[in-house]
Structure 1
Amino acid sequence: MDPIPAGHALALWAALHILLLLGLSLLVVRQRRRHAVALGDGGVPELACAIRAFGNATEYIPMGLVGLAALTLAGAPPLAVHPAGLVLFGGRLAHAIGLSRSGEASPLRAGGVAATWGAYIYLAVALLFYALP
């Protein structure tokens, strides 16, 4: 018997978010090489967008994963962990794609923010549910 039933769900979403961060990091490196910019964005809009897409993901993903881990440790079943992981991942991916394409507002960016905030709200409510007797 798995001591933490939702542990595999947490592992799945942590792995996918780590891969997303790695992919976004590689996009920054590619833009740096393409434009020969070692530090900062060099005034290159494409590099600035790649840097912000990675930076924004690093601002939101860690707390989302903390929420998923806390939910798992609180004894939530996998079916409570998966929706939050899926919506958080989908939101972060959509936001990253939208921001990587342009620094302007876009439906992907807006949808990504909405999904991320939705996952955060879901996690907060679920954590309160499991925290209160």
Structure 2
Amino acid sequence: MEITPSAHAAALWVGLHLILLLVLSVLVVRQRQQHHVVIGDGGVPALTQAIRAFGNATEYVPTGLIGLTVLALAGASPLLVHVLGGALFVGRAAHAVGLSRSGESSLPRTVGVVLTWVAYIATAVALIFYAIP
């Protein structure tokens, strides 16, 4: 089986998202060690925020990556895969930064949600387009 340029594009975004998830996981571990909390959040706001930043990413990233991968398999252009992968990545990173800095609403969180939803909607529409013969 030949690896297509679209598959290479999807591989890039899957790899970058895995690194993002790993970084967010490390931030949780660091907060746990700093505050001596083994399970839960120990009532520590910074740990709660780190846990939610990681948790929120794990709620959105896998489904987005499945969409990108299926688009690549369906023959979508590498440019489309890159645009959607980039939007999802920037959205998730911005949201994580915003949530890690404050539990309140913030510009990075808002930008993150909007970019994530745009990536989701555009990926869904593209998948439906590619599904129609």
TM-score, normalised relative to structure 2: 0.97
**Residue matched to 2:12:** 12
Deviations 1:95-117 (A, max 9, x none): 00000001100010011000000
- Matched position secondary structure for 2:62: helix
**Residue matched to 1:114:** 114
C-alpha displacement of 1:80 = 1.3
**Pair 1:30-2:30 in alignment:** yes
What is the aligned-residue RMSD (CA, Å)?
1.1
Deviations 1:4-46 (A, max 9, x none): 3301100100000000000000000000000000000000000
Letter in 2 for 1:122: A
CA distance in 2, matches of 1:60, 1:73: 21
CA distance in 2, matches of 1:19, 1:110: 22
- Superposition pairs of residues 41-80 of structure 1, within 5 angstroms: 41-80=41-80
What are structure 1's unaligned runs of at least 5 residues? none
- Matched position secondary structure for 2:76: coil
C-alpha displacement of 1:2 = 4.0
CA distance in 2, matches of 1:75, 1:68: 11
- Matched position secondary structure for 2:53: helix
| Identical amino acids, percent of aligned pairs | 65
What are structure 2's unaligned runs of at least 5 residues? none
Deviations 1:58-102 (A, max 9, x none): 000000000001101111110110000000000000000000001
- Superposition pairs of residues 80-91 of structure 1, within 5 angstroms: 80-91=80-91
The structure 1 segments of at least 4 consecutive aligned residues displaced by more than 6 Å after TM superposition are none
**Residue matched to 1:127:** 127
The number of residues matched between the two structures is 133
